[in-house]
Structure 1
Amino acid sequence: MDENEAQQLASTLRRLGIRGIVSPEQLDNPDGQWRVYDSADPATRQDITDEVRAVIAGRSRDAGPTRGFVVPVPR
């Protein structure tokens, strides 16, 4: 992920009301892995990437239609 993609992810998290700071795993290597942390302070931050993924996955499952019909279209 590059910095632009990280900003897009951070924006998406904010829109969804999910806390987190998107930052490179190693601050001196922005080309490496990026993770989601609970704070911006590198000395005390905790990695919450897996928690955020679980929340997003849960919302994705819940986001489907709750009523309606699937109508096959003949070819």
Structure 2
Amino acid sequence: MDENEAQQMANTLRRLGIRGIVSPEDLSNPDGQWRVYDSSDPAARRDITDEVLTVVKGMSRTTGGPTRGFVVRNPR
């Protein structure tokens, strides 16, 4: 994810009450890829991006969030 997507992810995490720190993979390159970590300490942090994305996707399905599908109208 880029910086803009990371900001959206951080907002989503806060709104859903999910712990996680959204930060660049390489702290010296904020224009590079961003990930979700369990801590703000670069020396001790663990990448939890995949876990968080799984939780967020699962929540959107159970809370009536957007899903793919078709809308079929009866022409009557």
- What's the TM-score once normalised by structure 1's chain length? 0.79
1:74 counterpart residue number: 75
C-alpha contact 2:6 2:35 (8 A) present in aligned 1? no
User: Per-residue displacement from partner, 1:19-45 (whole Å, max 9, x unpaired)?
Assistant: 100000000011111000001000000
Q: Matched residues, percent identical?
A: 73
User: In the alignment, what sits opposite 1:61?
Assistant: 61
Q: What 5-or-longer segments of structure 2 have no aligned partner?
A: 66-70
Distance between the aligned counterparts of 1:36 and 1:27, measured in 2? 13
Tell me how far 1:60 sits from its aligned partner.
Answer: 1.4
Consecutive unaligned residues in structure 1, runs of 5 or more: none
Q: Where does structure 1 differ by over 3 angstroms across 4 or more consecutive aligned residues?
A: none
Q: Report the structure number with the largest CA radius of gyration.
A: 1
Partner of 2:68: none
Structure 2 Cα separation of the partners of residues 63 and 71 of structure 1: 22
Please report the TM-score for the alignment, with normalisation by the length of structure 2. 0.78
Q: In the aligned structure 1, how far is the partner of 2:6 from the partner of 2:27?
A: 13
